[in-house]
Structure 1
């Protein structure tokens, strides 16, 4: 008879997404996982789609829209539905994903656009595996994408001669957030979640906890010499930015 011993280990964080990543990494380390809740070979593309959309709604993703019937959807789903509809998830292979890309290119879609479709399909499979609908055996070994320039659509690159005038036009806390982002490329989503407990003004460093970074790993960045924001309480946000787009546009115009 096989017996199991329960093991508890704290992730050291109150952030749910970080804790889930921590758990997944631990499961990978021991090479095991719980059984799937259904027969993974019978799971359909529609099951993946429904499960993924439910998660998107739960997370209140900004990319969600409504279809003609008022149901939540994503802009990438209609083309995926037309190609993979009525397939079993286990039957979708890497070769099928490549054929999906080729047909999109024949229809005049860019590589970047096709990458978005493939990214959605990959997210559907990964969410299904996370929710124990399928296992790795039912997933394509690879989701082929094409390298894109490391440049956001509509990105504005700040020339060195623009920095000082722009900084003068901005009010706090956007001014200090811009200062840190310009010098050390701290992401906006990271800036929004930094607390004063993460900032050491004496040593002039900021420690970004793993639960707020894109990679899930903590990192340390120095404070720029012109960072002069006054300290707040340990649990206060350093940059309570809110919606700063109007202030940013006004500063750029001036």
Structure 2
């Protein structure tokens, strides 16, 4: 039968022209609405089969295919999952052809209304665009992708905390996030490398850990020497999970910089600070303590020396031996001026 009831909800049962069977809920208790949806789908399937029209896939179809293809290959897949869960409230139930410029602008505005930065809103839009582009160019699900503008972003800034500010934030965090923040400040590891850290990547006897090449942003393995604070954190996490170092209620932590993190920042009175800025803080503390830039590059796993130069201005120790030269130069200028006046 073309439509039928399960409980009070109407369902649709269609056999397409190429023999494929589609059975799904019409999500309505009104028979007439279910019949209209049935007729619409039947017509669309006929056009797909007979006229070569592309089937109008749903956003959920695209998300499932994206996750399936990316899982195990994309280092930021957990960040994708985090954004996709949020996007489900805006795109769940939509077909790909319904995702247009006004809808994308409304998503951008919704993200901004939560207090997110332009950069965060742009990351969400970038993920949507990447999925739509793949649906068009590789999956052949779309003919066009809507054109839209990203929000302007300020030039990258180096935001870091003093030791006192860091202590204030950690004091406001839940126990599991406080441990993760302390470990990030002790090692400089990125969020995904902290949340995904496995016990098999840690050697407590030799006081070291390592990030494997497929987990590193630069695609190269990172050796992580562990200082006393990092070791203290790791010892406190022993026995909580067989595989993962950082867990909450027995489950791996997928996202550290979420709501609990943001609320802790507010309570600590810290503004304009992201979880990733813990890495900036770690690097800034190293530079201020006199760590050479080339050593910092290796510790942080940066592919380019230019990335480390962003922190060079935080220390002038390496320039002190030359600072005295300016005094000699200024004296020479004074003496030259005296000679000119005398002549």
TM-score by length of 2: 0.36
Q: Which has the higher helix share?
A: 2
TM-score by length of 1: 0.46
Q: Which of the pair has more CA radius of gyration?
A: 2
If asked which structure has higher relative contact order (CA below 8 Å, sep 6+), I would say 1
